[in-house]
Protein backbone atom coordinates (compact mmCIF):
# COMPACT_ATOMS: atom_id res chain seq x y z
CA UNK A 1 0.00 0.00 0.00
CA UNK A 2 1.49 3.32 -1.08
CA UNK A 3 0.92 6.10 1.41
CA UNK A 4 3.05 8.77 -0.22
CA UNK A 5 2.78 10.21 -3.71
CA UNK A 6 5.78 12.10 -5.07
CA UNK A 7 5.59 14.39 -8.08
CA UNK A 8 8.96 15.59 -9.34
CA UNK A 9 9.41 18.76 -11.33
CA UNK A 10 12.33 21.00 -12.19
CA UNK A 11 12.71 24.72 -11.69
CA UNK A 12 16.01 25.45 -13.42
CA UNK A 13 18.66 23.42 -11.63
CA UNK A 14 16.41 22.87 -8.61
CA UNK A 15 14.45 19.63 -8.22
CA UNK A 16 11.08 20.20 -6.55
CA UNK A 17 9.35 17.20 -4.99
CA UNK A 18 5.66 17.75 -4.31
CA UNK A 19 4.74 15.28 -1.57
CA UNK A 20 1.21 14.13 -0.83
CA UNK A 21 0.18 11.67 1.85
CA UNK A 22 2.02 10.06 4.74
CA UNK A 23 5.76 9.87 5.33
CA UNK A 24 6.01 6.88 7.63
CA UNK A 25 7.79 3.59 8.14
CA UNK A 26 5.39 1.53 6.03
CA UNK A 27 6.54 2.65 2.60
CA UNK A 28 6.41 6.43 2.38
CA UNK A 29 9.85 6.86 3.88
CA UNK A 30 11.39 4.37 1.45
CA UNK A 31 9.79 6.12 -1.52
CA UNK A 32 11.16 9.49 -0.38
CA UNK A 33 14.60 7.96 0.24
CA UNK A 34 14.70 6.48 -3.27
CA UNK A 35 13.54 9.71 -4.92
CA UNK A 36 16.15 11.83 -3.18
CA UNK A 37 18.98 9.31 -3.72
CA UNK A 38 18.14 9.09 -7.44
CA UNK A 39 18.37 12.88 -7.72
CA UNK A 40 21.71 12.88 -5.87
CA UNK A 41 23.00 10.09 -8.14
CA UNK A 42 22.04 12.27 -11.15
CA UNK A 43 24.09 15.12 -9.68
CA UNK A 44 21.04 17.12 -8.56
CA UNK A 45 22.08 18.72 -5.29
CA UNK A 46 19.44 21.44 -4.91
CA UNK A 47 16.21 19.88 -3.69
CA UNK A 48 13.06 21.56 -2.46
CA UNK A 49 10.44 19.48 -0.67
CA UNK A 50 6.91 20.86 -0.95
CA UNK A 51 5.17 19.46 2.13
CA UNK A 52 1.75 21.11 1.61
CA UNK A 53 0.09 17.74 0.95
CA UNK A 54 1.74 15.79 3.77
CA UNK A 55 -0.88 14.63 6.25
CA UNK A 56 1.38 12.67 8.60
CA UNK A 57 5.06 12.13 9.35
CA UNK A 58 6.45 9.71 11.91
CA UNK A 59 9.89 9.47 13.50
CA UNK A 60 11.15 7.34 10.62
CA UNK A 61 10.05 10.06 8.18
CA UNK A 62 11.81 12.73 10.25
CA UNK A 63 14.90 10.51 10.28
CA UNK A 64 14.79 10.32 6.49
CA UNK A 65 14.62 14.12 6.23
CA UNK A 66 17.70 14.38 8.45
CA UNK A 67 19.52 11.65 6.53
CA UNK A 68 18.78 13.42 3.23
CA UNK A 69 19.96 16.71 4.70
CA UNK A 70 23.28 15.12 5.73
CA UNK A 71 23.73 13.34 2.38
CA UNK A 72 23.18 16.54 0.42
CA UNK A 73 25.33 18.64 2.76
CA UNK A 74 28.20 16.17 2.32
CA UNK A 75 27.91 16.59 -1.46
CA UNK A 76 27.84 20.38 -1.26
CA UNK A 77 24.10 20.48 -1.87
CA UNK A 78 21.03 21.71 -0.05
CA UNK A 79 17.58 20.42 0.82
CA UNK A 80 14.95 22.95 1.83
CA UNK A 81 11.32 22.74 2.89
CA UNK A 82 8.30 24.75 1.80
CA UNK A 83 4.60 24.84 2.75
CA UNK A 84 4.71 23.07 6.09
CA UNK A 85 1.24 22.31 7.39
CA UNK A 86 0.41 23.54 10.88
CA UNK A 87 0.90 20.01 12.24
CA UNK A 88 4.29 19.65 10.54
CA UNK A 89 5.31 23.09 11.79
CA UNK A 90 4.48 21.96 15.35
CA UNK A 91 6.44 18.71 14.98
CA UNK A 92 9.44 20.51 13.50
CA UNK A 93 9.33 23.04 16.35
CA UNK A 94 9.08 20.41 19.09
CA UNK A 95 11.94 18.35 17.62
CA UNK A 96 14.03 21.51 17.08
CA UNK A 97 14.39 20.60 13.38
CA UNK A 98 13.36 24.13 12.41
CA UNK A 99 16.86 25.12 13.51
CA UNK A 100 18.36 22.60 11.03
CA UNK A 101 16.28 23.10 7.88
CA UNK A 102 15.64 26.20 5.84
CA UNK A 103 11.85 26.46 5.82
CA UNK A 104 9.80 28.79 3.61
CA UNK A 105 6.15 29.80 3.42
CA UNK A 106 6.11 30.24 -0.35
CA UNK A 107 7.85 28.58 -3.24
CA UNK A 108 9.19 31.78 -4.82
CA UNK A 109 11.21 32.61 -1.68
CA UNK A 110 12.36 29.01 -1.35
CA UNK A 111 13.55 28.82 -4.96
CA UNK A 112 15.23 32.22 -4.68
CA UNK A 113 17.09 31.15 -1.56
CA UNK A 114 19.12 28.59 -3.52
CA UNK A 115 20.71 31.41 -5.50
CA UNK A 116 20.60 34.00 -2.75
CA UNK A 117 17.83 35.98 -4.46
CA UNK A 118 14.79 35.97 -2.20
CA UNK A 119 11.97 37.31 -4.32
CA UNK A 120 9.60 38.73 -1.72
CA UNK A 121 9.45 42.48 -1.45
CA UNK A 122 9.79 43.63 2.11
CA UNK A 123 8.50 47.08 2.91
CA UNK A 124 11.03 49.21 4.80
CA UNK A 125 10.03 49.86 8.38
CA UNK A 126 9.56 53.46 9.43
CA UNK A 127 11.08 54.35 12.74
CA UNK A 128 9.55 57.18 14.72
CA UNK A 129 11.24 58.59 17.78
Is residue 38 included in any domain, yes or no? yes
Q: Please, what is the average pLDDT of the chain?
A: 88
pLDDT at 16 over 60: yes
Query: pLDDT: is 74 or 129 the higher one?
Result: 74
Is residue 113 included in any domain, yes or no? no
Domain count, the chain: 1
| Per-residue confidence (pLDDT) for residue 1, from 0 to 100 | 47
Kindly report the CATH number assigned to the domain that includes residue 66: 3.30.750.24
Is residue 128 included in any domain, yes or no? no
- The torsion of the CA quartet 99, 84, 43, 27, rounded to 10 degrees, works out to 110
Is residue 76 included in any domain, yes or no? yes
pLDDT at 125 over 60: no
Domain around 94: 4-108
Is residue 124 included in any domain, yes or no? no
Is residue 84 included in any domain, yes or no? yes
Is residue 115 included in any domain, yes or no? no
d(CA 95, CA 129): 40
Predicted TM-score (pTM) above 0.75: yes
| Per-residue confidence (pLDDT) for residue 2, from 0 to 100 | 56
For residue range 23-64, list pLDDT tens digits in order. 988 778 889 999 999 999 999 999 999 999 999 999 999 999
Is residue 122 included in any domain, yes or no? no
User: What average pLDDT does range 91-106 have in this prediction?
Assistant: 95
Amino acid sequence: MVNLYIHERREGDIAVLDLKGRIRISGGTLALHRSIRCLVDEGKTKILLNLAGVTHIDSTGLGELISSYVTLSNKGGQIKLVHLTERLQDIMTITKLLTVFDVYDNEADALGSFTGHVLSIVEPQSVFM
